[in-house]
Structure 1
Amino acid sequence: MPTEVTHPTASPTLDGLFKRVLARRPDALALVDPHNKPRITGQPRKRLTFAQADRAISALAAHFIESGLPANSVIAVQLPNTIEFALTILAAYRAGLVVVPLPLLWRQSELTMALNRTAARAIVTTSRVDGVVHADLAMNAAAEAFSIRHVCGFGDDLPEGMASLDQAIIRESTAARAVIQDGRKAALISFDLTQDGFRPVPRAHLGLIAGGLAISLESDMPQGATVMSAFSPMSFAGLTSSLVVWLLSGGTMVLHHPFDDEVLEQQINEHSCDTLIAPAQLALRLDELDLSAKMPSLRHVIGLWRAPEQVASSPFWTARRARLTDVYLFGEAGLFGARRTAADGSRAPIKPGPHGAPRELPGSSIAGDILLTPKGTLGLRGPMVPVAAYAPPPPPSDSLIASPPRDFVDTGYAARLDRATGAINITAPPSGIMAVGGYRFLAQDLQEWSRRLGQGALLTALPDRLSGHRLAGRAQDNARAREALAELGLNPLMVEAFRDRANAP
């Protein structure tokens, strides 16, 4: 079992937060799988106490150590919203590794890019998710990444050469190594999309914890909460809003793989969840369906906006038993939250300058700064914002003018100041970047992919109220276009843009 070493000036890590809860509540229920997990992954549901989760985490950490992964090496993870994701992330940290989360919608081209740019030594996946064989995707991507030395996964029917992590948990190896628990150490490398392409964004444990605190304190989530997490975890926002928020509350995390409204309602009522974390559009849709009557145990709803420019035009929140907290997401750069007013459910005004957590309490701890840049875009700074990752390139060596260092990240979102109220209004997403739900891509890539399909092919992004954009394609032979895009290893959203409309629902 890995040995914990406490540095004289050490600060909290995510594994340290877990062990604090473990010491207080070893037999309390910690993690609950989605009801429909057998359909999603073909694996049985699990329910783990903190003590049971601890044993699984230690066994997985020992497996990573025995596999020859050195401390501080990089491990890539592509998993659905099930118990295995939480166990794997915490096991990687217990073994002293750095995690690269890979969104489920990423396919071979993006996976290979991420593995090569981070020099990942291992990749963790599951056999299949919603009918897609992710184990084969991981094996194919690993074959194109020189640094990969270990490929492992959960589930049955794993391809030859992929180690079974289910067997590693059962075996419960006692392999150990000393790991310094220091929150300043690197914990996460996620990928953001900017106008220059994909950008790796590294963060320490403290940056992740700062993001979780900004959400949990602003939403006034109670200690020991039973949290329903229905947001994909493979991003900075996904990890902080689920794993970190759960560890900070010290309660139970019930997982839901997005989305099945009936299953979600059943899970919330069965476990008497008091907190729901979900995409904001889903939360507002549940409110329209009388959330208070159907899910009476809910007291806190945390709605995450992947398209923060849509908050201004969102409907009022009507559920009186549950307060809604809007969480504005800006790619991998950072986030901030604002709880809606209890009186009428209108959105809270966002004003420039330092903001605390919670926002309503003067003098509370600083969660970050919101500012307008000279370009008329929204900027962020604070303990969770990795300024160095977004720093502009240095000027040429022969330049006589040195640019002053920047202490904020320009998110690229267009914003303006309302002179009457002093509030900031976010008006448009970054130029040249398209988003379909959680999948982001450059607008120029659409033209490139269309050219590869030959003359007469068209692939375009159309505005969509719920997901930001939706894709539509046209080719002389749609079936051949789908095959070509799949062979290129592109995202299924691109492939399905060329579905036959006559057969579409």
Structure 2
Amino acid sequence: MNQSNASPTLDGLFRRILARQPNALALVDPDNTPRITGELPKRMTYAQADQAISALAAHFIAAGLPANAVIAVQLPNCVEFFLTVLAAHRAGLVVALLPQLWRQAELTVALNRTGARAIVTTSKIDGVSHANLAMDAAAEAFSIRHVCGFGSDLPEGMASLDAVIAEPVESPIVRQDARRAAIISFDVTADGFRPVPRTHLNLIAGGLVLSLESRLTQGATLLSAMVPSSFAGLTASLVVWLLTGGTLALHHPFDDESFERQIAELDCDALSAPAGLALRLAENGTLERSPKLGSVMALWRAPEQVVSSPAWSEGTSTLTDVYLFGEAGLLAAHRPDNGLPLPIKLGVHGAPRDAAGSSNAGELLLTPAGTLALRGPMVPLAAYAPDASSRLEIDSAPPDYVDTGYAARTDRTTGALCVTAPPAGIMAVGGYRFLSQDLLEWAKRLGQGALLTALPDRLSGYRLAGRAKDNARAREALAELGLNPLMVEAFRDSSSQSDSNRQAALTGH
């Protein structure tokens, strides 16, 4: 492929692996795909994946999507997701990552804010008709010109991408620039909902931090239980896979039996998973029964909880703590032999951090307000820059860092950094962030006496709880408003065990 500069793109990394080992196993679907989407699980070599990527890219170009147009993607953690992202890049498009739990309200806002020209989804995810959700959201986004999906029983007007993949085509040649936006994820800051575009170079920088700090070997088989609809989720799966050139196996959270079977059958070398899940797997003996699994990346969406986490004692596997600061950036720290979290200090951090001459992975600093700030090759400064009209002094330069909003301090004796609290006014439920005032606004729509609040949770940061005169009617009303299940299921009856289990699954991811 022609490139407009010498810097690699994600598709460029894929093509390099393809040239070396076309018949090597590239992508493996979750075992429980039939339950998730109703389709059979897929296994693809690099050559097979390349053929599918080319077919999808050609389809996007033929649909009239111009270079650098935004294509929104809402798919589960399955092979189709990764094929679609790489195909969009091969067609010169920018991918907007839509979280799986988003419903019509969030989808419509995201599509309109990014000016998306197309949306890709699948017929159903866990029994929910995401194809119909996409059609309804697209009807409220005037920029959408093309709606397509995977799976059977697609609604009228939605193009079938399964049919597209079935027809082999020549790979399209589109110039890609690693310095231009590759993906758009979505964050919530004190200023509200914020699209966060990132270049290929930003993504690769984040992937290098994870792969180098966690000591992943070339050709490793990585099992990812991270939903790839955020910067961290995408980096800990797609980007790490492309940097190590091995096999990416996927697990749609969460099925204990299927998960352990995947680790054993695929001889997995590494795992990326939410921190709460990683610790649970260590406690229940799953990792002890998987001696080949040598590296675990635990992603902490509540980074203030790392320092109080238990020591890691799984002898055959090592743990790398990955601190996530919303969509602003991440920090990785490989635990030493004693299994305790590695003390983090302010300043420049290398990747890997204990190697002489390691490259700059990023820098931590404290703001005058006592909050943690980030800068470095993965941090998208422009996405968080304040508008000129909002500055107190119009002529003043914007800061050269991103303020994460996390309260932090340094230990006077050791100099170790302590993250003490999440951003004020923001509630994080697993991978989903809300302004606390938004919860109050939605509760008001349910009438007098209704309450929707966030309660502290050890694993997910917060969990949502609601109270109304009629909980069943409250759930119906919130669903009709197009809100995601985290809010809807907050009004579950206390006696409903199934609702409690569903809430636990949601908040975990």
TM-score where L is the length of structure 1: 0.97
Q: Which of the numbers 33, 36, 41 marks the counterpart of 1:37? A: 33
Deviation at 1:504, TM superposition (A): 3.4
Tell me what 1:6 maps to. 3
Q: Does structure 2 retain, via aligned residues, the 8 Å contact 1:124–1:153?
A: yes
The runs of 4+ residues in structure 1 deviating greater than 4 Å are none
SS in 2 for 1:179: coil
CA distance in 1 between counterparts of 2:323 and 2:2 reads 37
Tell me what 1:305 maps to. 300
Q: Does 1:55 align with 2:51?
A: yes
One-letter code of the match for 2:363? D
CA deviations 1:410-445 (Å, max 9, x no partner) are 000000001111111001100000011111111001
CA distance in 1 between counterparts of 2:390 and 2:260 reads 57
Tell me what 1:184 maps to. 179
Q: How does 1:143-182 map to 2 (within 5 A)?
A: 143-174=139-170, 176=172, 178-182=173-177
Tell me what 1:501 maps to. 494
CA distance in 1 between counterparts of 2:273 and 2:32 reads 17
One-letter code of the match for 1:23? A
CA distance in 1 between counterparts of 2:314 and 2:390 reads 56
Q: Which of the numbers 446, 450, 457 marks the counterpart of 1:453? A: 446
One-letter code of the match for 2:267? S
Q: Does 1:232 align with 2:227?
A: yes
Q: Does 1:439 align with 2:432?
A: yes
CA distance in 2 between counterparts of 1:105 and 1:403 reads 40
Q: Does structure 2 retain, via aligned residues, the 8 Å contact 1:292–1:320?
A: no
Q: Does 1:348 align with 2:345?
A: no
CA distance in 2 between counterparts of 1:401 and 1:271 reads 57
CA distance in 2 between counterparts of 1:190 and 1:292 reads 31
CA deviations 1:18-49 (Å, max 9, x no partner) are 00000000000000000000011001011000
Q: Does structure 2 retain, via aligned residues, the 8 Å contact 1:10–1:181?
A: no
Q: Does structure 2 retain, via aligned residues, the 8 Å contact 1:395–1:402?
A: no
CA distance in 2 between counterparts of 1:223 and 1:242 reads 15
Q: How does 1:57-136 map to 2 (within 5 A)?
A: 57-136=53-132
SS in 1 for 2:268: coil
Q: Does 1:259 align with 2:277?
A: no
Q: Does structure 2 retain, via aligned residues, the 8 Å contact 1:217–1:358?
A: yes
CA deviations 1:332-363 (Å, max 9, x no partner) are 10001000012x10000111100100011132
CA distance in 2 between counterparts of 1:400 and 1:146 reads 36
Deviation at 1:372, TM superposition (A): 1.1
Q: Does structure 2 retain, via aligned residues, the 8 Å contact 1:75–1:99?
A: yes
One-letter code of the match for 2:472? A
Deviation at 1:391, TM superposition (A): 1.1
CA distance in 2 between counterparts of 1:186 and 1:503 reads 45
Q: 1:400 to 1:102 in 2, by over 3 A?
A: closer
Q: How does 1:198-209 map to 2 (within 5 A)?
A: 198-209=193-204
CA distance in 2 between counterparts of 1:352 and 1:292 reads 33
CA distance in 2 between counterparts of 1:76 and 1:322 reads 37
One-letter code of the match for 1:366? N
Aligned-residue RMSD, C-alpha: 1.3
SS in 1 for 2:362: strand
Q: Does 1:381 align with 2:381?
A: no
SS in 1 for 2:374: strand
Deviation at 1:384, TM superposition (A): 0.5
Q: Does 1:364 align with 2:358?
A: yes
Q: 1:10 to 1:289 in 2, by over 3 A?
A: same
CA distance in 2 between counterparts of 1:81 and 1:114 reads 20
In the alignment of these two chains, the number of paired residues is 498
Deviation at 1:396, TM superposition (A): 6.6
Note the residue ranges of structure 1 that are not aligned, 5 or more in a row. Answer: none
Q: Does 1:324 align with 2:324?
A: no
CA distance in 1 between counterparts of 2:466 and 2:390 reads 42
CA deviations 1:103-142 (Å, max 9, x no partner) are 0011101100010011100000011111111111100000
CA distance in 2 between counterparts of 1:392 and 1:25 reads 46
Q: Does 1:479 align with 2:475?
A: no
CA deviations 1:54-100 (Å, max 9, x no partner) are 00000000110111111111100001000001100000000000000
Deviation at 1:292, TM superposition (A): 4.4
Identity %: 70
Q: Which of the numbers 196, 199, 206 marks the counterpart of 2:191? A: 196
Tell me what 1:421 maps to. 414
SS in 1 for 2:65: coil
CA distance in 2 between counterparts of 1:463 and 1:316 reads 22
Q: Does structure 1 retain, via aligned residues, the 8 Å contact 2:311–2:339?
A: yes
Deviation at 1:173, TM superposition (A): 3.7
Deviation at 1:182, TM superposition (A): 2.5
Note the residue ranges of structure 2 that are not aligned, 5 or more in a row. Answer: 499-509
CA distance in 2 between counterparts of 1:489 and 1:386 reads 30
One-letter code of the match for 1:380? L
CA deviations 1:201-245 (Å, max 9, x no partner) are 111100000010010001110000000011000111111110000
Tell me what 2:209 maps to. 214
SS in 1 for 2:415: coil
TM-score where L is the length of structure 2: 0.96
One-letter code of the match for 2:374? L
CA deviations 1:286-326 (Å, max 9, x no partner) are 11123443111100000001111110111110101111000
Q: Does structure 2 retain, via aligned residues, the 8 Å contact 1:120–1:147?
A: yes
CA deviations 1:364-408 (Å, max 9, x no partner) are 0110101111111111000000111111222579x7663233110
Greater Cα offset, 180-189 or 353-362:
180-189
Q: Does structure 2 retain, via aligned residues, the 8 Å contact 1:34–1:255?
A: yes
Q: Which of the numbers 242, 246, 251 marks the counterpart of 2:241? A: 246
Deviation at 1:180, TM superposition (A): 1.5
SS in 1 for 2:288: helix
